[in-house]
């Protein structure tokens, strides 16, 4: 049988299994789904080795460099995450941490992980046909995605958006990058990367409380950052500078654009996440025009103390009415001292009267630092689409 046909058959087996998993296994054999997935992945890996052959890992300097960079980035990730956890808080681990339970929780995901990476290594090193490689890598992505979600349970734009951003896109980024790593660096960096990035949730007692947004950002950005960081090493190996050329072809290795991009991403994600002192908010009405108009975005600094609030400041507050779960950006017009503390009254600059709420310090989220014109429009547009649904 031709190599193309073998790879195609393997991919079709994966697609067929995923279909059976979603339509039958999830509804009738849910309790055994982890074991079934692990068994399936072992069978697929065995078939891949039989059909495509297993080429032994040849030690190369490139593999060592890729492994080094992977270890460095993953360790850095953990240091930064747990340092951030000191600021944003931690969640208790949902899993039992008794040794037997850890083993029980880990056995199936670890089996799937290792089998997948062996399968990936065998696949990417069996052919140089790009279309076949894309098809094969895509099938791995489909497998990993569709054993992690229940398609029938996705109803509504919000759950679909959450699943796409926290699982589908991160799995896609990870599978593409790991396939490149497997081709040039062997399977060890891939296995190492996945064990550290996916198994820690079963063994550590506390997990940083990131939430869906940061989780999706990390899941998508981290593999791409890993790819960018090893790209230079891969290029040097694939396209080496010989002794005759190196003195003439030494170019600047570090591009300032890369650092600027990285800085922009960090600042942007930090502002949007709302987990840090400064937060970005889109403005949905003209109640504060002409100072702040609909479609603008403002950056506000979180307020923790009543001493920081003064009349005339533009503040961001949460509507105390539980039926109206919105943030409002208006000007502080009056501060009254009562026996229970301070009460704040606000008003939109273009409104006729004061807002009909008495606010306390708990309701006030922060004070506006500056505005950015127009960048809030995409958010307002998407928000209106969600509300229509």
Q: Which of residues 213-232 bind other proteins (CB under 8 A)?
A: 213-217, 220-221, 224, 227-228, 231
- Compute how many residues bind other proteins; rule: CB under 8 A: 72
What is the distance, to the nearest Å, from the Cα of residue 104 to the centroid of all Cα atoms in its chain?
27
Q: Using an 8 Å Cβ cutoff, are 285 and 384 in contact?
A: no
Candidates 128, 242, 252, 356: give the one binding other proteins (CB under 8 A). 242
Q: Of 71-79, 259-267, 335-343, 353-361, which part binds other proteins (CB under 8 A)? A: 259-267
Q: Is 64 helix (H, G, I), strand (E, B) or coil?
A: helix
Q: Of 69-77, 83-91, 114-122, 302-310, which part binds other proteins (CB under 8 A)? A: 83-91
Q: Using an 8 Å Cβ cutoff, are 212 and 274 in contact?
A: no
349, two tokens: 């600059």
Candidates 4, 68, 91, 152: give the one binding other proteins (CB under 8 A). 91
Candidates 3, 71, 88, 333: give the one binding other proteins (CB under 8 A). 88
CB of 113 to other proteins, least distance (A): 12
Q: Using an 8 Å Cβ cutoff, are 284 and 298 in contact?
A: no
Q: Name the residue nearer to other proteins (CB basis): 1 or 250.
A: 250
CB of 373 to other proteins, least distance (A): 16
Q: Counting contacts by CB under 8 A, is residue 298 touching other proteins?
A: no
Q: Using an 8 Å Cβ cutoff, are 57 and 187 in contact?
A: yes
Of residues 1 through 30, those in contact with other proteins by CB under 8 A are none
Q: Of 18-26, 36-44, 74-82, 89-97, which part binds other proteins (CB under 8 A)? A: 89-97
Q: Of 37-45, 116-124, 265-273, 342-350, which part binds other proteins (CB under 8 A)? A: 265-273
Q: Counting contacts by CB under 8 A, is residue 350 touching other proteins?
A: no
Q: Which long-range contacts (CB under 8 A, 24 or more apart) does 189-195 make?
A: 189/63, 189/66, 189/67, 189/70, 190/117, 190/120, 190/121, 191/113, 191/114, 191/117, 192/67, 192/70, 192/71, 192/74, 193/70, 193/74, 193/226, 194/113, 194/117, 195/110, 195/113
How far, in Å, CA of 175 to CA of 138, rounded? Answer: 8
215, two tokens: 């989780």
Of residues 128 through 187, those in contact with other proteins by CB under 8 A are 148-149, 158, 161, 165-167, 169
């Amino acid at each position: 049988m031709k190599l193309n046909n073998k790879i195609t058959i393997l991919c079709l087996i994966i697609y067929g299994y995923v279909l059976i998993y979603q339509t039958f296994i999830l509804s009738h054999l849910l309790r055994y789904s982890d074991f079934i997935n692990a068994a399936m992945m072992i069978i697929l890996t065995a078939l891949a080795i039989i059909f495509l052959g297993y080429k032994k890992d040849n030690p190369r300097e490139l593999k060592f460099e890729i492994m080094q960079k992977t270890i460095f980035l993953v360790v850095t990730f953990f240091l930064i995450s747990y340092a951030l956890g000191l600021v944003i808080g931690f969640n208790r681990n949902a899993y039992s941490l008794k040794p037997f339970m850890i083993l029980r929780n880990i056995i199936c995901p670890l089996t799937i992980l290792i089998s997948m990476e062996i399968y990936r290594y065998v696949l990417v090193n069996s052919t140089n046909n790009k279309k076949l490689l894309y098809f094969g890598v895509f099938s791995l992505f489909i497998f990993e995605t569709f054993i992690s979600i229940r398609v029938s349970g996705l109803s509504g734009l919000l759950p679909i958006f959450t699943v796409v951003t926290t699982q589908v896109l991160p799995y896609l980024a990870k599978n593409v990058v790991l396939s490149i790593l497997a081709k040039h660096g062997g399977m060890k960096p891939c296995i190492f990367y996945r064990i550290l990035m996916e198994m820690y949730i079963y063994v550590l007692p506390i997990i940083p409380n990131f939430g869906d947004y940061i989780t999706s950002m990390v899941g998508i950005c981290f593999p791409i950052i890993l790819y960018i960081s090893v790209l230079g090493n891969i290029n040097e190996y694939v396209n080496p500078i010989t002794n005759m050329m190196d003195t003439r072809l030494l170019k600047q290795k570090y591009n300032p654009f890369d650092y600027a991009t990285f800085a922009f991403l960090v600042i942007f994600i930090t502002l949007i996440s709302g987990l840090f002192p400064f937060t970005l908010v889109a403005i949905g009405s003209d109640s504060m025009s002409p100072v702040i108009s609909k479609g603008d975005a403002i950056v506000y600094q979180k307020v923790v103390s009543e001493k920081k609030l003064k009349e005339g400041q533009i503040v961001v507050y949460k509507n105390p009415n539980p039926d109206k779960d919105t943030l409002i950006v208006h000007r502080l017009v009056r501060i009254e001292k009562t026996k229970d503390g301070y009460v704040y009254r606000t008003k939109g600059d273009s409104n006729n009267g004061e807002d009909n709420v008495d606010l306390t310090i708990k309701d006030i989220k922060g004070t506006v630092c500056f505005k950015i014109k127009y960048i809030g429009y995409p958010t307002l547009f998407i928000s209106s689409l969600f509300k229509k649904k």
